[in-house]
Each structure stands twice: as structure tokens, then as C-alpha cells.
């Protein structure tokens, strides 16, 4: 999967993080595209999937993270989840 471009990131996410100064890309897997967003508000991890199957997996991951956020386990905080059914994409 090609790394995400700033212009592809949903406006809701860019607004939430307070604008993006730059993006770096860790080693990538095969089911999602991961970028590290740097902004005035801090550093955020952004994950994108393409395709119906991978997007449904990301939605399940978001649900699990949300459920675990109330536990005593150290899990990443999920700030936002966006589905784009027309493009078969999901973001969190």
C-alpha cells in the first residue's frame, strides 16, 4: 500500500490534531497504512485501511480499543474512527 498523503487524510482528523506539520512512516504491514502525525497538539498514530475486508478488521480493532479503554490494561487511546464506505476506507 502506498503511504498516505496529507491531502487524503479526512479533514475531521486533521482538525482534531490541530493541523499536521509532517508525517513519518514506520515499517509497513500488508493490511493497513500507518503514519505518525506530528502537530502542535502532539504526536498521533494514524491507521488507514482500504478494501471491505481490511476496513471491517479496523472497525473491530477500534471497537476493542474502545472497550479496553475502561480497563486497567495499558492500551492506546482511540481518538477518532472514520469510515468512508464509498472509498471502502477506514481511519483511526
pLDDT for position 45: 93
Nine-digit cell string for 14: 486533521
Nearest one of 2, 90, 1 to 47, comparing CA atoms: 90
In the chain, DSSP assigns E strands to 22-24, 33-39, 42-50, 82-84, 89-91
CATH superfamily, domain 6-91, is: Phosphorylase Kinase; domain 1 (3.30.200.20)
Quick check: helix, strand or coil at residue 89?
strand
pTM of the model: 0.83
Domain ranges, ordered by start, for the chain:
6-91
Nine-digit cell string for 69: 479503554
Residue length, the chain?
Answer: 92
pLDDT tens readout for residues 32-67: 999 999 998 899 999 999 999 999 999 999 999 999
Amino acid at each position: 500500500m502506498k503511504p498516505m498523503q496529507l491531502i487524503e487524510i479526512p479533514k475531521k482528523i486533521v482538525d482534531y490534531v490541530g493541523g499536521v506539520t509532517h508525517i513519518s512512516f514506520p515499517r509497513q504491514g500488508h493490511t493497513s497504512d500507518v503514519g505518525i502525525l506530528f502537530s502542535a497538539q502532539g504526536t498521533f498514530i494514524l491507521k488507514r485501511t482500504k478494501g471491505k475486508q481490511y476496513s471491517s478488521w479496523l472497525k473491530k480493532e477500534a471497537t476493542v480499543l474502545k472497550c479496553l479503554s475502561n480497563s486497567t490494561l495499558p492500551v492506546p487511546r482511540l481518538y477518532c474512527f472514520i469510515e468512508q464506505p464509498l472509498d471502502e476506507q477506514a481511519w483511526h
